[in-house]
């Protein structure tokens, strides 16, 4: 019989805390998103990056509509709620009026790549100095798990129960790839949160994206693949494996554009 270590209270032995429950900019960890959801992991990174850059009092977030919208009650940053797909245009107007602010959007794939595809592409093409952050789980989570523009071929969703079929449902849109082809893009990267290593890589991407904005280096974009075991019909513990096996081979991880120059994704961030 092995003895477990007490984890109900801080250690009595001399120790220093190296990780807090919550980022300083997060009011609480109490949310009703599904067990095993990857979106809160991305939220932690976002808030920790803003804190590291000491930009909390100059940051404005524009939030889209999806499961992650519920996380806004947790965020201690000034926010503007946008309509589905429309966050990039609101971010544009806000940044033009407050060029010294750190303006970011937080959107899901249904929001950004379906409803709002035009918005994000034009915002990138115009080179607006804002950072758009996409949490991509390949489904419309909030409405029950239907196919989005990023759903990969063969992926089962609520309305592609036999798997997405190119002939009937068409092909997925690889949004980071698209954005990386636009002249106004200064930084574009795709990360993931399926394990601790990829979480740290995604953190570095967010950090670099914000640094691009603060330098005025053009449009910055970070896509983060997140687990959605509910939408994927998988047990929670299999979410990370599903992401790696099904989504990541199609939506390639890595940095696509740095400082306005294309680079080969797949190399370490």
Partner 1 sequence: MSRDLLEGSEAIARAALAADCRFFAGYPMTPFTELLEHFAALLPERGGACINAESELEAIGMAWGAAATGARAATGSTGQGLALMQESLSELTRAEIPLVVFNLARGQGDYFQATRGGGHGDYRLICLAPLDAAEAVELTQLAFHLADRWRHPVLVYGDYLLAHTHEAVDVAALDFGPTPDKDWAVDGALGGTGRARNLNPIGMVPGQKGIDPAVFWDRLQAKTEQIAVAEPRFEAEGCEDAELVVVAFGTLARFARHAVRALRSEGRRVGLFRPITLWPFPARALAAAAAGARRVAVLEQNAGQMIDDVRLALEGAVPVEAIGGISTDPAGFGIGPLLDAEVVRGRIHSQLEEGSR
Partner 2 sequence: MSSLLSRGTVVIDRERCKGCDLCVPACPPGVLRMSGARNARGARTPELLPGCTGCGACLLVCPDFCFEVYRFDEPVLHEGAPT
Residue numbers of the site for partner 1 (CB under 8 A)? 24-25, 27-28, 30-32, 50-51, 55-60, 62, 70, 72-73, 75-83, 86, 88-98, 101-102, 118-119, 122, 126
Strands 146-147 and 131-136: unpaired
The CA-based dihedral angle spanning residues 177, 178, 183, 186, taken in that order and rounded to the nearest 10 degrees: -40
Q: Which is nearer to partner 2, 2 or 264 (CB)?
A: 2
Nearer to partner 1, 24 or 245 (CB): 24
Nearest residue (CB) to partner 1, 126 versus 204: 126
Compute the distance between CA of residue 222 and CA of residue 79 in angstroms, rounded to an integer: 19
At 166, is the secondary structure helix, strand, or coil?
helix
3-state secondary structure of 262: strand
CA atoms within 13 A on the CB side of 76: 12
Structure tokens at 171: 């092909």
Residue 227 near residue 215, CB atoms below 8 Å: no
Q: Is 231 in the site for partner 2 (CB under 8 A)?
A: no
Residue from 63, 193, 201, 222 binding partner 2 (CB under 8 A)? 193
Q: Tell which one of 76, 177, 200, 211 touches partner 2 (CB under 8 A).
A: 200
Task: For partner 1, give the closer residue by CB, 87 or 139.
Answer: 87
**Site of interaction with partner 2 (CB under 8 A):** 1-5, 7-11, 13-22, 26, 29-31, 33-41, 44, 193, 195-196, 199-200, 227, 229, 235-237, 239-240
């Amino acid at each position: 019989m092995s003895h477990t270590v007490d984890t109900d209270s801080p250690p009595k032995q001399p120790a220093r805390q190296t990780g807090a429950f919550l980022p300083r900019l997060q009011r609480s960890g109490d949310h009703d998103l599904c067990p095993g959801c990857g979106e809160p992991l991305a939220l932690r990174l976002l808030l920790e990056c803003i804190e590291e850059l000491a930009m909390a009092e100059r940051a404005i977030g524009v939030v889209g509509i999806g499961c992650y919208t519920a996380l806004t009650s947790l965020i201690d940053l000034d926010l503007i709620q946008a309509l589905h797909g429309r966050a990039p245009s609101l971010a544009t107007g806000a940044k033009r009026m407050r060029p010294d602010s750190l303006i970011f959007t937080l959107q899901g794939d249904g929001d950004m790549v379906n409803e709002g595809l035009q918005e994000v592409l034009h915002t990138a093409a115009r080179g607006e100095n804002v950072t758009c952050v996409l949490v991509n789980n390949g489904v419309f989570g909030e409405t029950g798990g239907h196919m989005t523009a990023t759903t990969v071929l063969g992926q089962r969703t609520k309305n592609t129960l036999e798997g997405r079929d190119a002939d009937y449902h068409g092909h997925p849109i690889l949004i980071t790839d698209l954005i990386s082809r636009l002249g106004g893009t200064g930084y574009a990267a795709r990360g993931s949160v399926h394990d601790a290593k990829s979480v740290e890589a995604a953190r570095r991407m967010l950090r670099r994206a914000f640094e691009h904005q603060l330098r005025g280096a053009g449009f910055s974009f970070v896509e983060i693949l997140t687990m959605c075991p509910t939408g994927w019909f998988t047990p929670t513990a299999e979410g990370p494996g599903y992401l790696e096996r099904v989504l990541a081979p199609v939506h390639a991880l890595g940095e696509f554009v740095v400082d306005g120059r294309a680079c080969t994704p797949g190399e370490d961030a």
